[in-house]
Copies of this chain bind each other. A is one copy, B any other.
Amino acid sequence: MTQNATEKRVLAAIGQRRELINDGIDVDLPLADPERLYEATRYILEAGGKRLRPTATLLVGEALADTDPSELDYRAFPTVTGGEVDLMAAAVSIEVIQSFTLIHDDIMDDDDLRRGVKSVHNQYDTSTAILAGDTLYSKAFEIMADVGGKPENTLEAMRLLSSTCTKICEGQSLDVAFESRDDLTPEEYLEMVERKTAVLYGAAVAIPAVLLDADQEIVDAMYQYGIESGKAFQIQDDVLDLTVPSEELGKQRGSDLIENKETLITLHARQQGVDVDGLLSQSTIESVTEDEIDAAVEKLEDAGSIEYAREMAEDLTAQSKERLNALPDNEASDLLADLADYLISRGY
Protein backbone atom coordinates (compact mmCIF):
# COMPACT_ATOMS: atom_id res chain seq x y z
CA MET A 1 0.00 0.00 0.00
CA THR A 2 1.35 3.41 -0.92
CA GLN A 3 2.08 6.05 1.70
CA ASN A 4 -0.79 8.06 0.39
CA ALA A 5 -3.35 5.28 0.82
CA THR A 6 -2.13 4.71 4.42
CA GLU A 7 -2.57 8.37 5.20
CA LYS A 8 -6.06 8.31 3.70
CA ARG A 9 -7.08 5.31 5.81
CA VAL A 10 -5.72 6.90 8.99
CA LEU A 11 -7.40 10.23 8.36
CA ALA A 12 -10.69 8.44 7.63
CA ALA A 13 -10.38 6.45 10.88
CA ILE A 14 -9.63 9.64 12.80
CA GLY A 15 -12.47 11.47 11.07
CA GLN A 16 -14.98 8.74 11.95
CA ARG A 17 -14.09 8.93 15.62
CA ARG A 18 -13.41 12.64 16.05
CA GLU A 19 -17.04 13.74 16.35
CA LEU A 20 -17.73 10.97 18.85
CA ILE A 21 -14.70 12.02 20.87
CA ASN A 22 -15.77 15.68 20.74
CA ASP A 23 -19.23 14.66 21.95
CA GLY A 24 -17.51 12.65 24.67
CA ILE A 25 -15.59 15.74 25.78
CA ASP A 26 -18.86 17.73 25.93
CA VAL A 27 -20.39 15.08 28.18
CA ASP A 28 -17.43 14.46 30.48
CA LEU A 29 -16.19 18.04 30.74
CA PRO A 30 -19.40 20.09 30.93
CA LEU A 31 -19.41 23.88 31.34
CA ALA A 32 -19.75 23.99 35.12
CA ASP A 33 -19.56 26.84 37.60
CA PRO A 34 -17.46 29.05 37.57
CA GLU A 35 -18.17 29.38 33.85
CA ARG A 36 -15.15 31.51 32.99
CA LEU A 37 -12.84 28.82 34.37
CA TYR A 38 -14.57 26.04 32.44
CA GLU A 39 -14.65 28.13 29.27
CA ALA A 40 -10.88 28.46 29.60
CA THR A 41 -10.50 24.70 30.10
CA ARG A 42 -12.54 24.06 26.93
CA TYR A 43 -10.97 26.81 24.84
CA ILE A 44 -8.00 24.85 23.42
CA LEU A 45 -10.01 21.64 23.22
CA GLU A 46 -12.55 23.44 21.04
CA ALA A 47 -9.89 25.08 18.89
CA GLY A 48 -9.29 21.77 17.15
CA GLY A 49 -6.69 19.06 17.28
CA LYS A 50 -6.70 15.73 15.46
CA ARG A 51 -7.65 13.67 18.57
CA LEU A 52 -4.81 11.29 17.66
CA ARG A 53 -4.29 9.93 21.15
CA PRO A 54 -7.94 9.30 22.05
CA THR A 55 -8.41 7.73 18.60
CA ALA A 56 -5.54 5.36 19.41
CA THR A 57 -7.23 4.59 22.75
CA LEU A 58 -10.46 3.62 20.98
CA LEU A 59 -8.60 1.60 18.33
CA VAL A 60 -6.81 -0.54 20.93
CA GLY A 61 -10.20 -1.23 22.51
CA GLU A 62 -11.68 -2.14 19.14
CA ALA A 63 -8.74 -4.38 18.30
CA LEU A 64 -9.14 -6.25 21.60
CA ALA A 65 -12.94 -6.52 21.31
CA ASP A 66 -12.34 -8.08 17.89
CA THR A 67 -15.95 -7.74 16.69
CA ASP A 68 -17.88 -5.68 14.18
CA PRO A 69 -17.17 -2.05 15.19
CA SER A 70 -20.75 -1.02 14.35
CA GLU A 71 -21.97 -3.20 17.23
CA LEU A 72 -19.72 -1.50 19.78
CA ASP A 73 -20.86 1.13 22.28
CA TYR A 74 -17.83 3.05 23.52
CA ARG A 75 -19.68 3.99 26.69
CA ALA A 76 -20.44 0.34 27.53
CA PHE A 77 -17.51 -1.36 25.93
CA PRO A 78 -16.96 -5.12 26.32
CA THR A 79 -13.84 -6.19 28.23
CA VAL A 80 -12.06 -9.37 27.16
CA THR A 81 -13.32 -11.11 30.32
CA GLY A 82 -17.00 -10.33 29.89
CA GLY A 83 -17.28 -7.04 31.77
CA GLU A 84 -18.02 -3.51 30.57
CA VAL A 85 -16.14 -0.22 30.75
CA ASP A 86 -16.63 3.34 29.55
CA LEU A 87 -13.83 3.36 26.99
CA MET A 88 -14.86 6.79 25.71
CA ALA A 89 -14.26 8.32 29.16
CA ALA A 90 -10.74 6.87 29.14
CA ALA A 91 -10.14 8.40 25.69
CA VAL A 92 -11.47 11.77 26.88
CA SER A 93 -9.27 11.62 29.97
CA ILE A 94 -6.17 11.21 27.79
CA GLU A 95 -7.14 14.16 25.58
CA VAL A 96 -7.84 16.27 28.67
CA ILE A 97 -4.35 15.53 30.02
CA GLN A 98 -2.87 16.43 26.63
CA SER A 99 -4.79 19.71 26.72
CA PHE A 100 -3.56 20.51 30.23
CA THR A 101 0.07 20.02 29.17
CA LEU A 102 -0.40 22.28 26.13
CA ILE A 103 -1.81 25.11 28.25
CA HIS A 104 0.97 25.00 30.83
CA ASP A 105 3.70 24.47 28.19
CA ASP A 106 2.50 27.54 26.32
CA ILE A 107 2.89 29.63 29.48
CA MET A 108 6.39 28.24 30.10
CA ASP A 109 7.51 28.68 26.49
CA ASP A 110 5.62 31.98 26.18
CA ASP A 111 3.97 30.78 22.98
CA ASP A 112 1.28 33.18 21.78
CA LEU A 113 -0.48 30.80 19.41
CA ARG A 114 -1.84 27.26 19.64
CA ARG A 115 -3.88 25.44 17.00
CA GLY A 116 -4.21 28.67 15.03
CA VAL A 117 -5.79 30.62 17.87
CA LYS A 118 -4.37 32.55 20.80
CA SER A 119 -2.90 30.40 23.56
CA VAL A 120 -4.93 30.38 26.80
CA HIS A 121 -2.65 32.73 28.76
CA ASN A 122 -2.73 35.07 25.78
CA GLN A 123 -6.52 34.88 25.31
CA TYR A 124 -7.26 35.08 29.05
CA ASP A 125 -4.33 35.68 31.42
CA THR A 126 -1.58 33.66 33.07
CA SER A 127 -3.53 33.01 36.29
CA THR A 128 -6.52 31.71 34.38
CA ALA A 129 -4.26 29.54 32.24
CA ILE A 130 -2.52 28.02 35.25
CA LEU A 131 -5.88 27.35 36.86
CA ALA A 132 -7.47 26.01 33.66
CA GLY A 133 -4.58 23.56 33.32
CA ASP A 134 -4.85 22.53 36.96
CA THR A 135 -8.60 21.97 36.55
CA LEU A 136 -8.13 19.82 33.45
CA TYR A 137 -5.50 17.85 35.38
CA SER A 138 -7.88 16.85 38.17
CA LYS A 139 -10.82 16.47 35.77
CA ALA A 140 -8.81 13.89 33.80
CA PHE A 141 -8.41 11.84 36.99
CA GLU A 142 -12.07 12.30 37.93
CA ILE A 143 -13.14 11.12 34.49
CA MET A 144 -10.80 8.12 34.58
CA ALA A 145 -11.98 7.17 38.08
CA ASP A 146 -15.50 6.59 36.75
CA VAL A 147 -14.85 4.29 33.77
CA GLY A 148 -16.29 1.30 35.62
CA GLY A 149 -15.11 -2.29 35.25
CA LYS A 150 -12.84 -3.98 37.78
CA PRO A 151 -11.65 -1.50 40.45
CA GLU A 152 -8.11 -2.90 40.32
CA ASN A 153 -7.97 -2.12 36.60
CA THR A 154 -9.27 1.43 37.03
CA LEU A 155 -6.76 1.90 39.84
CA GLU A 156 -3.96 0.61 37.61
CA ALA A 157 -5.09 2.99 34.83
CA MET A 158 -4.95 5.90 37.29
CA ARG A 159 -1.53 4.79 38.52
CA LEU A 160 -0.31 4.77 34.92
CA LEU A 161 -1.93 8.14 34.23
CA SER A 162 -0.30 9.75 37.27
CA SER A 163 3.19 8.32 36.62
CA THR A 164 2.79 9.45 33.00
CA CYS A 165 2.04 13.01 34.14
CA THR A 166 5.09 12.96 36.41
CA LYS A 167 7.28 11.88 33.48
CA ILE A 168 5.80 14.60 31.23
CA CYS A 169 6.79 17.19 33.88
CA GLU A 170 10.26 15.65 34.13
CA GLY A 171 10.59 15.75 30.33
CA GLN A 172 9.54 19.39 30.17
CA SER A 173 12.02 20.20 32.94
CA LEU A 174 14.83 18.43 31.06
CA ASP A 175 13.88 20.27 27.87
CA VAL A 176 14.25 23.62 29.65
CA ALA A 177 17.49 22.56 31.38
CA PHE A 178 18.98 21.35 28.08
CA GLU A 179 18.77 24.87 26.64
CA SER A 180 21.72 25.90 28.78
CA ARG A 181 23.74 22.71 28.21
CA ASP A 182 26.44 22.52 25.53
CA ASP A 183 27.48 18.92 26.15
CA LEU A 184 24.16 17.21 25.47
CA THR A 185 24.24 13.70 23.98
CA PRO A 186 21.73 12.14 21.56
CA GLU A 187 20.90 9.62 24.32
CA GLU A 188 19.94 12.39 26.74
CA TYR A 189 17.85 14.03 24.05
CA LEU A 190 16.00 10.77 23.37
CA GLU A 191 15.37 10.29 27.09
CA MET A 192 13.85 13.80 27.21
CA VAL A 193 11.66 13.11 24.16
CA GLU A 194 10.47 9.85 25.67
CA ARG A 195 9.33 11.55 28.87
CA LYS A 196 8.02 14.76 27.35
CA THR A 197 6.10 13.29 24.43
CA ALA A 198 6.14 9.52 24.05
CA VAL A 199 4.85 8.46 27.48
CA LEU A 200 1.42 9.97 26.84
CA TYR A 201 1.16 7.89 23.64
CA GLY A 202 2.19 4.92 25.75
CA ALA A 203 -0.53 5.64 28.30
CA ALA A 204 -3.12 6.28 25.58
CA VAL A 205 -2.72 2.76 24.21
CA ALA A 206 -1.78 0.83 27.37
CA ILE A 207 -4.71 2.14 29.44
CA PRO A 208 -7.44 0.64 27.19
CA ALA A 209 -5.66 -2.73 27.43
CA VAL A 210 -5.58 -2.39 31.24
CA LEU A 211 -9.25 -1.42 31.42
CA LEU A 212 -10.33 -4.19 29.08
CA ASP A 213 -8.67 -6.67 31.43
CA ALA A 214 -6.17 -7.83 28.80
CA ASP A 215 -3.12 -9.92 29.77
CA GLN A 216 -0.09 -8.07 31.12
CA GLU A 217 1.94 -8.98 27.99
CA ILE A 218 -0.61 -7.15 25.86
CA VAL A 219 -0.55 -4.13 28.18
CA ASP A 220 3.26 -4.08 28.01
CA ALA A 221 3.28 -4.51 24.23
CA MET A 222 0.81 -1.64 23.80
CA TYR A 223 2.88 0.61 26.06
CA GLN A 224 5.99 -0.13 24.02
CA TYR A 225 4.06 0.47 20.79
CA GLY A 226 3.08 3.89 22.12
CA ILE A 227 6.56 4.78 23.38
CA GLU A 228 8.27 3.74 20.17
CA SER A 229 5.83 5.34 17.75
CA GLY A 230 5.69 8.45 19.95
CA LYS A 231 9.47 8.80 19.89
CA ALA A 232 9.52 8.18 16.14
CA PHE A 233 6.92 10.95 15.72
CA GLN A 234 9.05 13.47 17.59
CA ILE A 235 12.28 12.53 15.82
CA GLN A 236 10.60 12.69 12.44
CA ASP A 237 9.23 16.10 13.40
CA ASP A 238 12.83 17.32 13.59
CA VAL A 239 13.58 15.78 10.17
CA LEU A 240 10.50 17.35 8.58
CA ASP A 241 11.45 20.77 9.92
CA LEU A 242 14.49 20.61 7.62
CA THR A 243 13.16 18.70 4.62
CA VAL A 244 9.58 19.79 3.98
CA PRO A 245 8.92 23.07 2.08
CA SER A 246 7.74 25.95 4.27
CA GLU A 247 4.33 26.09 2.57
CA GLU A 248 3.58 22.47 3.44
CA LEU A 249 5.13 22.80 6.89
CA GLY A 250 2.97 25.81 7.77
CA LYS A 251 6.04 27.56 9.23
CA GLN A 252 9.53 28.54 8.08
CA ARG A 253 11.55 25.47 7.12
CA GLY A 254 14.66 25.19 9.28
CA SER A 255 13.14 27.24 12.10
CA ASP A 256 14.58 24.88 14.75
CA LEU A 257 18.05 25.55 13.36
CA ILE A 258 17.57 29.32 13.15
CA GLU A 259 16.29 29.38 16.73
CA ASN A 260 19.24 27.24 17.92
CA LYS A 261 16.88 24.50 19.07
CA GLU A 262 18.92 21.38 19.69
CA THR A 263 17.52 18.26 18.00
CA LEU A 264 18.71 14.71 17.46
CA ILE A 265 20.04 15.91 14.10
CA THR A 266 22.16 18.76 15.47
CA LEU A 267 23.44 16.61 18.33
CA HIS A 268 24.54 13.93 15.88
CA ALA A 269 26.12 16.55 13.62
CA ARG A 270 28.09 18.01 16.53
CA GLN A 271 29.48 14.56 17.27
CA GLN A 272 30.55 14.42 13.61
CA GLY A 273 32.42 17.70 14.01
CA VAL A 274 29.94 19.95 12.21
CA ASP A 275 29.98 23.58 13.38
CA VAL A 276 26.24 23.57 14.07
CA ASP A 277 26.26 26.99 15.73
CA GLY A 278 27.76 28.50 12.61
CA LEU A 279 25.22 27.00 10.17
CA LEU A 280 22.63 29.77 10.26
CA SER A 281 24.13 32.05 12.90
CA GLN A 282 23.57 35.21 10.86
CA SER A 283 19.95 34.41 10.02
CA THR A 284 16.62 35.23 11.57
CA ILE A 285 13.22 33.69 10.74
CA GLU A 286 12.45 36.86 8.82
CA SER A 287 15.74 37.28 6.92
CA VAL A 288 16.69 33.68 6.07
CA THR A 289 16.73 32.64 2.39
CA GLU A 290 15.96 29.23 0.95
CA ASP A 291 19.54 29.05 -0.36
CA GLU A 292 20.96 29.52 3.13
CA ILE A 293 18.73 26.77 4.49
CA ASP A 294 19.64 24.48 1.58
CA ALA A 295 23.33 25.01 2.33
CA ALA A 296 22.82 24.23 6.02
CA VAL A 297 20.76 21.13 5.25
CA GLU A 298 23.45 19.94 2.82
CA LYS A 299 26.10 20.09 5.56
CA LEU A 300 23.85 18.10 7.88
CA GLU A 301 23.20 15.60 5.08
CA ASP A 302 26.93 15.27 4.38
CA ALA A 303 27.49 14.47 8.05
CA GLY A 304 24.82 11.75 7.78
CA SER A 305 22.82 13.44 10.53
CA ILE A 306 19.48 13.69 8.74
CA GLU A 307 19.76 10.09 7.59
CA TYR A 308 20.67 9.08 11.15
CA ALA A 309 17.48 10.63 12.51
CA ARG A 310 15.31 9.41 9.65
CA GLU A 311 16.57 5.85 10.10
CA MET A 312 16.01 5.97 13.83
CA ALA A 313 12.43 7.13 13.29
CA GLU A 314 11.87 4.34 10.76
CA ASP A 315 13.44 1.69 12.99
CA LEU A 316 11.34 2.77 15.96
CA THR A 317 8.23 2.68 13.80
CA ALA A 318 9.05 -0.82 12.54
CA GLN A 319 9.62 -1.96 16.14
CA SER A 320 6.35 -0.38 17.27
CA LYS A 321 4.42 -2.22 14.56
CA GLU A 322 5.97 -5.53 15.69
CA ARG A 323 4.37 -4.94 19.10
CA LEU A 324 0.95 -5.07 17.47
CA ASN A 325 1.39 -8.82 16.98
CA ALA A 326 0.14 -9.09 20.57
CA LEU A 327 -3.30 -7.95 19.32
CA PRO A 328 -5.85 -9.97 17.34
CA ASP A 329 -5.47 -9.46 13.61
CA ASN A 330 -8.32 -7.20 12.52
CA GLU A 331 -9.15 -3.85 11.00
CA ALA A 332 -8.43 -1.90 14.20
CA SER A 333 -4.99 -3.43 14.69
CA ASP A 334 -4.22 -2.75 11.02
CA LEU A 335 -5.21 0.87 11.61
CA LEU A 336 -2.85 1.07 14.58
CA ALA A 337 -0.04 -0.05 12.24
CA ASP A 338 -1.13 2.58 9.73
CA LEU A 339 -1.19 5.15 12.50
CA ALA A 340 2.45 4.40 13.34
CA ASP A 341 3.37 4.89 9.67
CA TYR A 342 1.30 8.05 9.50
CA LEU A 343 3.09 9.57 12.49
CA ILE A 344 6.36 9.65 10.56
CA SER A 345 4.88 10.58 7.20
CA ARG A 346 2.70 13.54 8.06
CA GLY A 347 2.78 15.97 5.21
CA TYR A 348 2.75 19.08 7.36
List residues of chain A with CB under 8 Å of any chain B CB.
Answer: 32-34, 36-37, 104, 107-108, 126-128, 130-131, 133-135, 137-139, 141-142, 145-146, 150-152, 154-155, 158-159, 161-166, 169-170, 172-174, 176-177
User: In the complex, what residue of chain B is closest to A37 when comparing beta carbons?
Assistant: B173
Contacts A138-B169, A158-B145, A165-B137 given; indicate if A174 touches B130 (C-beta within 8 A). no
A155–B151 touching, CB < 8 Å = yes
Distance A155 CA – B162 CA, assembled complex (angstroms): 13
From residue A244, how far is it (CB to closest CB) to chain B in Å? 30
A130–B152 touching, CB < 8 Å = no
From residue A259, how far is it (CB to closest CB) to chain B in Å? 17
B residues within 8 A CB of A135?
166, 169-170, 173
B residues within 8 A CB of A130?
104, 107-108, 130
Distance A36 CA – B128 CA, assembled complex (angstroms): 26
Distance A130 CA – B134 CA, assembled complex (angstroms): 10
From residue A184, how far is it (CB to closest CB) to chain B in Å? 13
User: In the complex, what residue of chain B is closest to A173 when comparing beta carbons?
Assistant: B37
From residue A307, how far is it (CB to closest CB) to chain B in Å? 31
A146–B169 touching, CB < 8 Å = no
Distance A32 CA – B135 CA, assembled complex (angstroms): 26
Distance A145 CA – B108 CA, assembled complex (angstroms): 29
From residue A195, how far is it (CB to closest CB) to chain B in Å? 10
B residues within 8 A CB of A162?
138-139, 141-142, 145
Distance A107 CA – B128 CA, assembled complex (angstroms): 11
Distance A135 CA – B162 CA, assembled complex (angstroms): 10
Distance A172 CA – B40 CA, assembled complex (angstroms): 14
B residues within 8 A CB of A134?
104, 133, 137, 165, 169
Distance A164 CA – B165 CA, assembled complex (angstroms): 18
User: In the complex, what residue of chain B is closest to A109 when comparing beta carbons?
Assistant: B127
Question: What are 23 A-B residue pairs whose CB atoms fall within 8 Å in the complex?
Answer: A33-B170, A34-B174, A36-B173, A37-B170, A104-B131, A126-B126, A127-B176, A131-B172, A134-B165, A134-B169, A135-B173, A137-B165, A138-B162, A138-B164, A138-B166, A139-B162, A141-B141, A141-B158, A141-B161, A142-B159, A146-B159, A155-B158, A158-B158
Distance A131 CA – B107 CA, assembled complex (angstroms): 11
Distance A152 CA – B166 CA, assembled complex (angstroms): 23
From residue A140, how far is it (CB to closest CB) to chain B in Å? 8
User: In the complex, what residue of chain B is closest to A138 when comparing beta carbons?
Assistant: B165
Distance A128 CA – B139 CA, assembled complex (angstroms): 23
Distance A130 CA – B103 CA, assembled complex (angstroms): 11
A155–B166 touching, CB < 8 Å = no
From residue A157, how far is it (CB to closest CB) to chain B in Å? 10
In the complex, the 8 A-B pairs of residues with the closest C-beta atoms, listed nearest first: A138-B165, A141-B162, A37-B173, A151-B152, A145-B159, A108-B127, A135-B169, A151-B151
Contacts A155-B145, A158-B145, A159-B146 given; indicate if A177 touches B138 (C-beta within 8 A). no
From residue A166, how far is it (CB to closest CB) to chain B in Å? 4
User: In the complex, what residue of chain B is closest to A107 when comparing beta carbons?
Assistant: B130
B residues within 8 A CB of A34?
170, 173-174, 177
Indicate the member of A107, A131, A134 with the most B CB atoms within 10 Å: A134
Given A145-B155, A151-B155, list of 19 further CB < 8 A pairs? Answer: A34-B174, A37-B169, A104-B130, A104-B131, A107-B127, A108-B130, A126-B126, A127-B176, A130-B130, A131-B173, A131-B176, A135-B169, A135-B170, A137-B137, A138-B163, A145-B162, A150-B151, A151-B151, A155-B155
